[in-house]
Amino acid sequence: MRLKDLLKGSVPDDALSRFSGHFDVIGDIAIVTIPPELTAYKKIIAETILAGRKNIYTVLNKVQKVRSDARTASYEVLVGDTTITRYREFGFQYRFDVTKVFFNSHLAYERMRVTEQVEPGERVLVPFCGIGPFAIPAAARGARVVAIEQNPEAYAWLRENIALNHVRDAITPINGDARDTSHLAQQRFDRIIIPTPYGMDGILDTLAPYAGRDGMIHFYTFRAANEIPALVDEFTTRGFEITFQNTCGNVAPGIKRWAFDLVKKG
């Protein structure tokens, strides 16, 4: 049964009509966004989520969207005594504090689509790697991975997750700015996976030179649909062959996250 249906009788209908009823689950933590009009009913909403999902022990209210270079949101703990969880995704597991790092569980299938293309022996670069959900599966498939993360909290969890998933020998983690190419020296990579933060499309210009000939770049960008034809033309003009393009999530009215697989030619 939907959360809104479960709340009928406990929350007035006029207030309930302003609530989407949607919540995300990451590990054993539920994340909900409760509008100000329902402030008086926060505890009831949290307790109803707990009652309906026996595997949830903490409920967080997202009170501010993702902001800052760390790409973290602000949360209010409604129920529970920890914001650290263990999340499992296609055979891998990740521990992290959901309030201190950026993580999007809705990209699970996209991460699997990309990392299943990785071949043993590849050299793979993952900037903005977060807690490791692209880097760790790539390493497990036999690649040698360089993983860069600027947020110290996320970097600490990355290192823990590398050990947790037994890929310590296959990943070089770097705590630094992905735009600082001094980390890369003269390396060339067979594959670069760029989960680009909003507004940082210039990272493609920065990192594309580090892809080898016929190297694959998985590039993400936030665009309106009417911008895509011009972007496709730009990629082609710059010498990329587009082998895949698709959307993978809405981020704002009219704006979607777009995934492009680009083969570097020349």
Q: Where are the domains of the chain?
A: 3-82, 106-264
The single residue listed with the structure tokens 């936030």 is: 222
The structure tokens listed for 219 are 């590039």
User: Residue 96's pLDDT is what?
Assistant: 98
The structure tokens listed for 125 are 């670069």
Taking only the tens place, the pLDDT of each residue in 146-168 is 999 999 999 999 999 999 999 99
User: Residue 68's pLDDT is what?
Assistant: 47
- The residues pairing with 247 across neighbouring beta strands, listed in sequence order, are 258
Fold adopted by 106-264:
Rossmann fold (3.40.50)
Low-confidence ranges of the chain (pLDDT < 50): 68
Assess contact for 128 and 197: CB atoms under 8 A: yes
Give CA–CA dist 71/101, Å, rounded: 7
Count CA atoms closer than 13 A to 21's CA, side-chain side. Answer: 14
Dihedral sign from CA coordinates of 22, 70, 85, 138: positive
Helices (H), 75-122: 108-115
User: Residue 219's pLDDT is what?
Assistant: 98
3-82 shares its CATH topology with 106-264: no
- Residue 156 contacts by C-beta under 8 Å, 6 or more apart in sequence? none
Assess contact for 135 and 144: CB atoms under 8 A: no
For the domain 3-82, what is the CATH code?
3.30.300.110
